[in-house]
Structure 1
Amino acid sequence: MKVGAHVSISGSRVSSDDETPPYDDIRNAVHRQVAFGGNCGQIFTTSPQVWAQPEISDEAAEGFRTETETQLEGPWVIHSAYLVNLCTPKEDLRRKSKASMQAELDAADKLGIPYVNVHLGAHTGAGVEQGLDNAASVIDELDVPDDVTILIESDAGSGTKLGGEFEHLSGIIDRTETDIGICIDTAHTLVAGNDLTTPEAVDETVQRFDDEVGLEYLEYIHLNDSKHDVGTHKDEHAHIGEGYIGEDGMKAIVNHPDLRDLPFALETPTEDGRGFEWNIEKVTELREE
C-alpha cells in the first residue's frame, strides 16, 4: 500500500549523524515521512502563502532523489502555492500563477517527482466556461517536463471556485492539449456533494467519476476525513475514520478495487494529541489484504 503524509521540508537538516551540521534541506521530507510511517507523500517546495521560487541546490536535489529511491516506495507530489489561480480573468494574477507553476514543474523535474498538484482556482465572476478556458490556456502555455504530470485537484466547491463538480474536471481535460491527471481529495469530494460514507455510496461515486471523468485520469488521492457533511462545501479535514466519512467509508475507499493501488497522501490535522503517524497507522489498519 502506498500511503504517506504532507510533510514539511523546513528547518535544519534532520540527521541521525551528530557530525552532520544542521542546515535547511529538502531531504528533511524523506526523513520525516519515514518517521511517520509513510512510504510516499506530498510537499510544498516553498511557503504556499507567498509568491516565492523554490531554491534547491544540486546537492540537496541529488540527495533527495537518492534517499527517496532507497527509503520510500514513492511517489512524491508537489502541491502548488495556494495563491495560484488558473481560472482567473485577471492578467497579473494569471502571469504570476503561470510563473509559479513553471517553477514548481522545474523543481519536480530536478527532484525526480512525477506530479505537481494544483487547484483550478476561482473564476471570480467570469463564469464556469470562461474559467475553464482560462485554466486550459495557462496549462497549455507551460513547459511541462517529460517525466512530470500536472494533477488537477478536486475542490470543495464554494463560491466561484471550480473543481467541485466532476464536470469541471472533465471540462479541463477536454479543453487542454496537455496530458494532465486528476487528484481526488476525499474530504473535498464529500462536501462538494458526493456521498462516501458507506461502501455502496463509494461504489456509486467512483462509478460516476468514471462515467463523467474517467478513472484512467485518476493518479493520486488526498485521503482526508471531513469535519463537515455531504454538500456543505466546508473544507475542514478530520482524523481518518472520525469525521463524516467515517470508518466504513474510509475502509471502502482504501480497499476499493479501482482505488487501492493508487498513492494516498494524508493532509489530516495535528490535534487531540494525534498527528500523521496516528492517521497513517489507522489507514493501514483499515486496509485488507
Structure 2
Amino acid sequence: MSELRVGAHTSIAGGVSNAVDEQVEYGGNCGQIFTHSPQVWDHGSIEDSEADAFREASEANDIGPWMIHSSYLVNLCTPKEDLRAKSVDSMQQELDAADRLGVPYVNVHLGAHTGAGVDGGLANAGDALDELDVPDGVTILIESDAGSGTKLGGQFEHLAQVQSNTAHDLEFCVDTAHAWAAGYDISTPEGVAETFAEFDDVVGLDQLAYVHLNDSKHECGTNKDEHAHIGEGEIGYDGMKAFVNRTVEEGVPMALETPTEDGKSFAWNIERVRELHQE
C-alpha cells in the first residue's frame, strides 16, 4: 500500500523554514506554501540561509514533497499584454524560488480568458507558459478550477488542451472542492471512481501530481468555491473517504486548504484524513 502523504498550507512568516515547524505541529508530512503575499506582485527575497534551513528542516522531519502556490494575481489566459507580462515574471520568480528551496512543484491557476474565449484563453496560457525557463527538478502544476465566470480549468478537457498548447511537460493538481463546484460528483465511491476514470481518459492519471483536499460548503455544479472541513461539507464523509483512499492508492500527496473555524484547524483535518485512510 502506498504511503499516506498529507499536509496543510503553512505560513513562511518569520522565515520560510518556519513553514516546516508549523507542518510538524499539524502532524503533516507534505504541504504547500506561498513564497510571498499572494495578493501582491512584489516577491521580496529569500535569504540563502533561510533556503538552506528550509531544505534541512524538511529532510530532517521527512516532510515532502512541498508545493509552492503561485500568486492569485497570475492570469495565464489573459489577452492583456501587461497582465500577461506580470504573470510570466511572477511565475518565473516562483520557479526560481522552488529551485532554491528544493521544492519540486509550482502550482498555478490558469486564470480567466475575459472575453478571449475558451480556445483563445487556453492558447494564451500555452504561449505564456512557453516563455518560462523551468529549472531542472521543478514541474509546473496546473490546478483544476471551480469554473466561475470566464475562469478556465474547471473541465478536465481544459487541462488536457493547455498541455497540448505548450512545450513544457506539465502535471496537474486536482482540487476536490473545485472539481465538485465544476460539476464532478465525488460524493459517493461510485462518483469518485467515475471521476478518476474520466481524468485518466482525458488527461492521464500519470499526470496527477498533487491533490488539494477540501470539502465544500456548496452544492455540486454551482461553481461556488468555499471550502469546508473534511467530511463535513456537501461532498461528505463517504465521498471524502473514497477520494482519500483512491488518492493514496495512486501514490499522490494531498495538501489541505480547509478553514479554521468551529474549533477545528489543520491538525483536526489532517487527523480526519488519517482516520479515513485507516477505515
TM superposition score normalised by structure 1? 0.94
From 264, 269, 286, the counterpart of 2:276? 286
2:76 and 2:186 map into 1 onto residues whose CA distance is: 28
> What SS does the aligned partner of 1:256 have?
helix
2:20 touches 2:63 (CA, 8 Å); kept in 1? Answer: no
Alignment partners' CA distance in 1, 2:201 and 2:249: 15
1:218-264 CA-partner distances (Å, limit 9, x unpaired): 00000000001110000000000000111100110111167552100
Letter of the 1:183 counterpart: C
In 2, Cα distance between equivalents of 1:286 and 1:269: 19
CA contact (8 A) 2:41 2:73 kept: yes
State the alpha-carbon separation in 2 of the partners of residues 101 and 271 from structure 1.
Answer: 32
Runs (5+) with no aligned partner, structure 2: none
In structure 1, distance between residues paired with 2:151 and 2:249:
26
Cα pair 2:144 2:179 within 8 Å, conserved? yes
> Who is 1:122 aligned against?
112
State which of 11, 28, 45 in structure 2 corresponds to 1:8. 11
Stretches (4+) displaced over 6 A: none
Is 1:179 aligned to residue 169 of structure 2?
yes
CA distance, structure 2, for counterparts of residue 6 and residue 32 of structure 1 = 9
Give the Å deviation of 1:204.
0.5
> Which stretches in structure 1 are left out of the alignment for 5+ residues?
11-23
Asked whether the 8 Å contact 1:94–1:138 carries over to 2, the reply is yes
2:53 corresponds to which residue?
63
| Letter matched to residue 43 of structure 1 | I
- Look up the match of 1:21: none
**What letter corresponds to residue 287 of structure 1 in structure 2?**
H
Verify the 8 A CA contact 2:141 2:170 in the aligned structure 1: yes
Aligned 8 A contact 1:198 1:249 in 2: yes
Contact 1:34 1:72 in 2 (8 A): no
1:212 to 191, 202, 218: 202
Report what 1:13 is aligned to.
none
Q: Deviations over 1:169-222 (max 9, x none)?
A: 000011111011000000000010000000001001110111111111100000
CA shift, 1:55, in A, is: 1.0
The equivalent of 1:42 in structure 2 is 32
Residue 76 (structure 1) aligned with residue 79 (structure 2): no
Structure 1 residue matching 2:40: 3-state secondary structure: coil
Q: Which residue of structure 2 lines up, in the alignment, with residue 255 of structure 1?
A: 245
Please give the alpha-carbon distance, in whole angstroms, between the structure 2 residues aligned to 1:207 and 1:223: 18
Residue 75 (structure 2) aligns with: 85
Give the letter for the 1:8 counterpart.
S
- Which of the numbers 198, 209, 219 marks the counterpart of 1:229? 219
Of 81, 85, 101, 1:95 maps to 85
Q: Distance in 2 between matches of 1:59 and 1:258?
A: 34
| Cα separation, 2, equivalents of 1:197 and 1:53 | 38
Q: Is the 8 A contact 2:20 2:57 kept in 1?
A: yes
Q: 2:247·2:253 contact (CA, 8 Å) conserved in 1?
A: no
Question: Are 2:157 and 2:203, in contact at CA under 8 Å, matched by a contact in 1?
Answer: yes
Aligned residues: 276
1:288 shift after superposition? 2.9
Q: Secondary structure at the match of 2:172?
A: strand
SS at match of 2:278: coil
Distance 2:211 2:25 in 1: 21
Which amino acid in structure 2 is aligned with residue 285 of structure 1? E
SS at match of 2:57: helix
Select the residue among 252, 255, 260 that pairs with 1:270.
260
Q: Is the partner of 1:248 in helix, strand or coil? A: helix
Identical amino acids, percent of aligned pairs: 66
* Preserved contact between residue 6 and residue 29 of structure 2 (Cα < 8 Å): yes
Superposed CA RMSD: 1.1
